[in-house]
Amino acid sequence: MLKSEFNYELPRELIAQEPLEERAASRLLIVPRNGAFVDSRMRDLPEALRTGDLLVFNDTRVLPARMQGHKDSGGAVEILLERLEDEHTLLAQVRSSKPLRKGRSITLADGSKLEFVARDGEFMRLQYAGEEGASALLDRVGAIPLPPYIVRAPDAADRDRYQTVFAQTPGAVAAPTAGLHFDDALLAALRSRGIEGAALTLHVGAGTFQPLRVDDVSQHRMHAERCVVGATLVEKVESTRTQGGRVVAVGTTVVRALESATADGALRPFDGETRIFITPGYQFRAVDLLLTNFHLAQSTLLMLVCAFGGRARMLEAYAHAVTSRYRFFSYGDAMLIHPADGVPVK
């Protein structure tokens, strides 16, 4: 497969720059296995599902992961955290006009210093000597790391709106955006119809926004992300399917976490890193429906969606969304996708 096979045209004005006033006011494009697409609303999701279905959410919490500083020479530096390895070690992308040399330090806006101690691929390992720990440092000087296609500076509202209402476990540097559409009222409406929810954790890394640098999709190596699928969730998934319910993944991160936990064919508790790269032809073992936002052309996330819904079918759905003026990407609208005919789902 070539990455050019996952392309579509998108007018720039359809890239959502701000969240809607109400989370559940987003539009919802329902993509059935066959037949016409259905233009709906997130508020109507309970009617699109069935009693006994299980929604699986990603409860990761986005860190204020973007920091500004300067080198000893005075040159400006931007730091985008990839992950906290511990409370004094940060793995990050570091951008500056000239490369930072090992052993040199970065001074942040409040005078705190980070020392560059090692390189790890495209990332730099930075050491923080402050007694408070790196989490407190981020809370004090960091900003919410809005994606590069949102061409404005983050404001105070983003600290709330670029988090899901069920975010609990700090560690992500990008939001699991399908979850941004849920508010307490929608969650209550789902429960009232017998549609339950459960959670796992996958800490979304900055690599989620990186383009493929190879034309041959099979040559791409995914970035690593930490995920935890607990025993309680595994039991809920098994119970749901035993009783005839469906597992609805809320976002591509949930798909990647669940499928990573089925390495031997059965869903089992999992705690570790995943580099799973899902492309057309993949046999899904743990997911029956997928709720997701619209994704960038030629991205690994679009490839995952095409693996689930069928490439031709999904590109047709994207064309419908463009014509119908849906809002795209992180603060945009959503899709509810049924697996396409011929897509192997266990």
The CA-based angle 91-84-253, given to 5 degrees, is 95
Any domain includes 147: no
* CATH at 181: 3.40.1780.10
Sign of CA dihedral 120, 84, 19, 313: positive
| 100/245 same-domain check | no
Strand partners, 135: none
**Which residue range(s) make up the domain with 271?**
3-62+158-337
- Structural domains counted in the chain: 2
Any domain includes 342: no
Give the position of tokens 């041959």: 216
| 332/230 same-domain check | yes
pLDDT tens for the 346 residues of the chain, in order: 999 999 999 999 999 999 999 999 999 999 999 999 999 999 999 999 999 999 999 999 999 999 999 998 889 999 999 999 999 999 999 999 888 888 899 999 899 999 999 998 889 999 999 889 999 999 999 999 999 999 999 998 999 999 999 999 999 999 999 999 999 999 999 999 999 999 999 999 887 777 788 999 999 999 889 999 999 999 999 999 999 999 999 999 999 999 999 988 899 999 999 999 999 999 999 999 999 999 999 999 999 999 999 999 999 999 999 999 999 999 999 999 999 876 655 5
Sign of CA dihedral 257, 180, 337, 233: positive
| 137/165 same-domain check | no
For residue 288, the tally of other CB atoms under 10 A from its CB is 18
Query: How far is 63 from 145, CA to CA, in rounded Å?
Result: 8
**Sheet strand arrangement including 334-337:** 38-41, 27-31, 334-337, 289-293, 247-250, 54-58, 196-202, 225-229, 270-274
Any domain includes 153: no
Any domain includes 345: no
| 116/203 same-domain check | no
| 79/118 same-domain check | yes
pTM of the predicted model as reported, rounded to 2 decimal places: 0.94
Any domain includes 243: yes
Half-sphere exposure in the Cβ direction for 17 (13 Å, CA): 6
| 131/256 same-domain check | no
Strand partners, 35: none
Of 141, 169, 196, the residue at which a domain comes to its end is 141
Query: How far is 124 from 132, CA to CA, in rounded Å?
Result: 21
Cβ–Cβ < 8 Å for 332, 326: yes
* CATH at 88: 2.40.10.240
Cβ–Cβ < 8 Å for 201, 279: no
